[in-house]
């Protein structure tokens, strides 16, 4: 599978966080770091998707069973 590198506005849409929260989470080591490509900053779409999948797995792991 080929990875795509995406800009911050798309990261915000996918992750559901605004710029300030994304950079706060990066500083805390809780969000994928971007890569500098040319003169711009981009995120690996695959890393963002994996981060979301981990949050979902964490959530379902902590939910009580019915």
pLDDT for 61 beyond 80: no
pTM reported for the whole predicted model: 0.82
Estimate to the nearest angstrom the gap between the alpha carbon of 59 and the chain centroid: 16
Average pLDDT, the chain: 92
Q: What is the largest CA-CA distance in the chain?
A: 51
The pLDDT of 51-59, averaged and rounded, is 91
Question: Looking at residue 2, what DSSP letter applies?
Answer: -
Domain hosting 36: range is 5-62
Q: How many CB atoms lie within 10 A of CB 38?
A: 6
* Joined tokens for residue 21: 């929260």
Structure tokens at 45: 């779409």
Map tokens 């890569």 to a residue.
35
If one counts the domains in the chain, the total is 1
Per-residue pLDDT tens digits for 6-27: 999 999 999 999 999 999 999 9
């Amino acid at each position: 599978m080929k990875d795509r590198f995406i800009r911050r506005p798309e990261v915000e849409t996918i992750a559901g966080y605004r710029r300030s929260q994304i950079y706060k989470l990066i500083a805390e080591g809780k969000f994928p770091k971007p890569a500098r490509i040319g003169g711009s900053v981009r995120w690996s779409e695959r890393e963002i998707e994996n981060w979301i999948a981990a949050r979902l797995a964490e959530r379902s792991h902590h939910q009580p069973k019915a």
